[in-house]
Each structure stands twice: as C-alpha cells, then as structure tokens.
C-alpha cells in the first residue's frame, strides 16, 4: 500500500494513474486520500466499527481535497476514527442522516471505489455494460434500499428470455454491488435483494471445426491476405454505380488480423490473450508465451512450430504483436474481419471462441488426454476440460472396433 505523510504538498504532487488509487497517511492509521484516473482527489477514512478484527472494514469519503485542507481533514478523520474505536459507525450514521443514493448513482460509486481497484480492466468494462444496458434502465431510478427481490427477479426473467447467461451475470454483478453497499454503510447489514434468485440453466455452446471446415477456413485466410475477399454492394442504391467493378471489389486483410486468427487456432488461446500479447512476453528460445494476466492468472503457453512461424513472419512496428491502427494500444476485437472471413468460408455463426474449442477437440480426439489438453488451455479446474470427454473416448472406440473386427474375422462374419 502506498503511504506518505499527507500534506498539501504531497497531495498536490500525487499524479493520477489508469485506476483509482489510495495513498494512506503514515501518521494517522486509517486516514488517506483517493485519486481517480481523472485526477480528482478526496479525503477518506477506513475503519472497523468497534475496532474488532471480526468487523468488516468500511471506507468513508470525507470531502474533496479542494474543500478541506490537510489539517482540517486530519482533524476530522481523527475524531471519526476515535468514535469508530469506541463502537460507533460513522459511515452508517451519516448514511441514515442523508438521502439514500439511487441504484444508478451507487453503481458508479461501486465501479470507481471497488471494482476499478480490485478487478481486471476487462471485467470492469463488462460490469459497466451490465449496469448501463440492463440494470440501470429498469431499476436505476430506485433508491438503493428500495430495490426488492421481486424487482431483481423481474429483471432476471426479462433478460433471461433471450440471454440466460447474461441474465445470470447481471444478477451476480448486482449482488456484488450490494455486498459493497453494506460494507460502505449504504444499506443495512444483510440487505441484498439478489439473495435466493435461482440462476437459469446455461446452455454451453461447443462448436468444433471439422477437417473440411478447417480446410475451407485455410483457403479463405490465404485468399484474404493475398488477393483479398470480395465486398458486397447493394446494386439497388443510386450510389452503386460509383463503386468499383465487380471483379475489382476485393480487399486484402491486414497481415496482423490473419496472424491473430492463425495464432488462435495454433495455441488455443483466448482472444484477449492474443490481442494483448506483447513481443516482450515471448521467449523464442524456449518456445513459450508468458501471459502476465490471463483469465486464470499468470500462465505459460507453449508456442509450437506453426505458431512460431506466424510470429517470425510479422514485422515489429509496435510493442503489441497484433498491431492495431494505433500502435500504442492493443486491438479491441476482430469482429468485422471475422464476419467477412466466416461468410466467405461458409462458416456463418462460427464464433472466435470456437477456435479455442477446435484446438481442444483436435487434442482430445487425438488421444492426448484431458489433463494435457486442460494444461495447454490454461484450465485450473478439471471439470472445465471435461466438456471434451466425449472426444477423448475416440481412441477407445478405435480400439473397440479393432478388437471386434478381429473376433468377427475369427468367426467368419466379415
């Protein structure tokens, strides 16, 4: 935890970072200043009501640093922390004496004070979508302590009609928000309207590419990076006559886009792991990719011959292997080129993530064993790899066929 003797000079010198940060005072335990990525700064205190270790730590914002001097904030913090050691709950007391936040208002506070600090950037981005697109339009105007279990159940059913998995994730995010709201003293202890909401059964989508489909994808990738893929024009529109002739309506794809797709196929990595990969993460001598932050934490990915060939064929104009339009930032997705590639290859509906499934299916069907396949994919739980168990049985089927054929031959049934 960063610490400093908090004075006007030290606080003014604090620079914002990509995430919300907190600097704690070296003199008064529990007193600090919070700095947001936008540069706003606020005095805060952290304490356990009654001073007991069994009590959950609470955080309370005192005021922006522009409204209280360091001396005034320290004095106020000392008073409140002393009261907390005697059993009082300053945050809870203040919460009762002011209007309760709406769900929408507190969702922003939860993201900045809790999620931004503890969760990965991509996870926080998903949380923002869940709030903005699903939760806030329906319960955002309600006071935080007035949201009922019926409200959450109604929201869950509404989303779950078309997207059961998304509905489950939204409820999980709302539950996390209320756990933090309790810690922050915004709602009474134990208040969580998501409690008891039963999740929808999620249908796992396991699409594996056949050898024929892989061949079609390979032909399309080679065409996309050389001559290019044709693009469609609505001939009914008046502007159609201004477009290039039919034989000239082809666009070659960026070599980095094609390389990303090939690396997904050859390594079984997740999309973000490839798009965020940097040259410094690659150990060419040992044939390893070191992912400092994957979905399951730091992990090592084996770079086989085909993957290394792809990497060695790329120019290094950016710190990121898959260079984007802005070389200083990672590419966000492959949606547009992927849609055109799958359409040309006759693979509509194939998702990027299905390339990872296909990598696993080839390994399982080849008799490599689920533990090995799981290790290659970076799975931490055996049950995650168990979805490929039916493919792992293929060697048993072949053995059974061979035995039965021998017996049938002896019986003269062939």
**Is residue 123 domain-shared with residue 85, that is, in the same domain?**
no
CATH of the domain at 328: 1.10.443.10
Residue 125 confidence (pLDDT) above 70: yes
Q: How many domains does the chain have?
A: 3
pLDDT average, residue stretch 144-157:
94
- Do 17 and 161 sit in the same domain of this protein? no
Q: Which of 47-51, 200-204, 223-227, 247-251 has the lowest mean pLDDT?
A: 247-251
Given 96, 112, 141, the domain boundary residue is 96
- 262 and 145, same domain (yes or no): no
CATH of the domain at 77: 3.30.160.390
Is 193 within the bounds of a domain? no
Percent above pLDDT 70 for the chain = 78
Kindly state whether residue 196 falls inside one of the protein's structural domains: no
**Mean pLDDT to the nearest integer, 377-405:** 55
Q: What is the pLDDT of residue 130?
A: 96
| SS3 labels along the chain | CCEECCCHHHHHCCCCCCCCEEEEECCCCCEEEEECCCCCEEEEEEECHHHCCCCCCEEEEEEECCCCCHHHHHHHHHHHHHHHHCCCCHHHHHHHCCCCCEHHHHHHHHHHHHHHHHCCHHHHHHHHHHHHHHHHHHHCCCEHHHCCHHHHHHHHHHHHCCCHHHHHHHHHHHHHHHHHHHHCCCCCCCCCCCCCCCCCCCCCCCCCCCHHHHHHHHHHHHHHHCCCEECCCCCCCHHHHHCCCHHHCEECCCHHHHHHHHHHHHHCCCHHHHHCCEHHHEECCCCEEEEEEECCEEEEEECCHHHHHHHHCCCCCCCECCECCCCCCECCCCHHHHHHHHHHCCCCCCCCHHHHHHHHHHHHHCCCCHHHHHHHHCCCCHHHHHHHHHHHCHHHHHHHHHHHHHHHHHHCCC
Residue 330 or 368, more confident = 330
| Domain match, 250 and 372 both | yes
Residue 29 lies in a domain: yes
Same domain, 112 and 81: no
Asked whether residue 387 carries a pLDDT value surpassing 60, the answer given is: no
Check whether residue 295 and residue 379 sit in a common domain.
yes
Mean of pLDDT values over 367-392:
58
240 has pLDDT over 50 = no
User: Given a cut of 80, is residue 354 above it in pLDDT?
Assistant: yes
Within a domain: 406: no
Domain for residue 32, yes or no? yes
Domain's final residue, options 81, 96, 111: 96
Are both 108 and 86 inside the same structural domain?
no
pLDDT confidence band for 233 (50 / 70 / 90): very low
295 and 226 part of one domain: yes
Q: What is the CATH number for 155?
A: 1.10.150
State whether 390 and 265 are in the same domain. Answer: yes
User: 172 and 285 share a domain?
Assistant: no
For residues 200-208, average pLDDT: 75
When pLDDT is cut at 50, 70 and 90, the band that residue 364 belongs to is low
> 255-310 pLDDT, tens per residue?
999 999 999 888 888 898 899 999 999 999 888 888 877 666 677 888 888 889 99
Within a domain: residue 194?
no
Q: Is the pLDDT of residue 1 over 80?
A: no
pTM above 0.75, yes or no: no
Least confident range from 185-189, 236-240, 256-260: namely 236-240
Do 349 and 215 have their domain in common? yes
Is 405 inside a domain boundary? no
At 360, the pLDDT band (50, 70, 90 cuts) reads confident
Assess whether 176 and 259 both reside in one domain. Answer: no
User: Residue 398: what pLDDT?
Assistant: 52
**Residue 382: what pLDDT?**
55
Which of 96, 122, 150 is the last residue before a domain boundary? 96
Percent of the chain with pLDDT over 90: 49
Its domain, for residue 116, covers: 103-183
User: Over the chain, what is the mean pLDDT?
Assistant: 83
Domain assignment present for 127: yes
């Amino acid at each position: 935890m960063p610490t400093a003797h908090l004075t006007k000079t030290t606080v003014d010198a604090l620079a914002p970072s990509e995430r919300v940060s907190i600097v704690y005072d070296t003199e008064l335990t529990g007193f600090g200043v919070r700095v947001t990525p936008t540069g706003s700064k606020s005095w805060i205190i952290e304490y356990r009501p009654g001073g007991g270790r069994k009590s959950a730590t609470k955080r309370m914002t005192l005021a922006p640093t522009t409204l209280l001097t360091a001396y005034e904030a320290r004095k106020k913090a000392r008073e409140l922390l002393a009261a907390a050691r005697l059993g009082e709950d300053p945050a809870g007391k203040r919460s009762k004496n002011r209007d309760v936040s709406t769900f929408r208002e507190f969702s922003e506070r939860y993201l900045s004070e809790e999620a931004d600090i503890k969760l990965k950037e991509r996870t926080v981005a998903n949380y923002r979508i869940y709030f903005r697109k699903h939760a806030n339009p329906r319960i955002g105007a309600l006071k935080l302590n007035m949201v009922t279990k019926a409200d959450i159940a109604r929201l869950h059913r509404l989303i779950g009609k078309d997207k059961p998995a998304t509905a489950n994730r939204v409820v999980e995010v709302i539950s996390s928000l209320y756990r933090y709201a309790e810690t922050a003293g915004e709602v009474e202890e134990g208040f969580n309207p998501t409690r008891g909401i039963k999740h929808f059964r999620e249908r796992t989508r396991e699409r594996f590419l056949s050898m024929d489909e892989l061949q079609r994808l390979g032909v399309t990738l080679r065409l996309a990076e050389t001559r290019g893929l044709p693009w469609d024009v609505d001939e009914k529109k008046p502007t159609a006559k201004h477009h290039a002739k039919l034989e000239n309506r082809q666009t070659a794809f960026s070599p980095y886009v094609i390389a990303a797709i090939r690396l997904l196929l050859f390594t079984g990595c997740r999309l973000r792991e490839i798009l965020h990969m940097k040259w410094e993460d690659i150990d060419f001598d040992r044939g390893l990719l070191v992912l400092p932050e994957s979905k399951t934490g730091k992990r090592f990915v084996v770079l086989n011959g085909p993957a290394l060939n792809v990497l060695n064929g790329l120019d290094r104009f950016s710190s990121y292997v898959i260079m984007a339009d802005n070389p200083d930032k990672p590419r966000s997705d492959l949606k547009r080129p992927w849609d055109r590639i799958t359409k040309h290859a006759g693979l509509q509906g194939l998702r990027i993530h299905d390339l990872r499934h296909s990598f696993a299916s080839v390994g399982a069907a080849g008799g490599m064993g689920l533990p090995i396949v799981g290790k290659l994919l970076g799975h931490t739980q055996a049950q995650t790899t168990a979805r490929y168990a039916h493919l792992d049985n293929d060697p048993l089927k072949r053995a059974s066929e061979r035995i039965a054929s021998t017996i049938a031959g002896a019986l003269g049934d062939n």
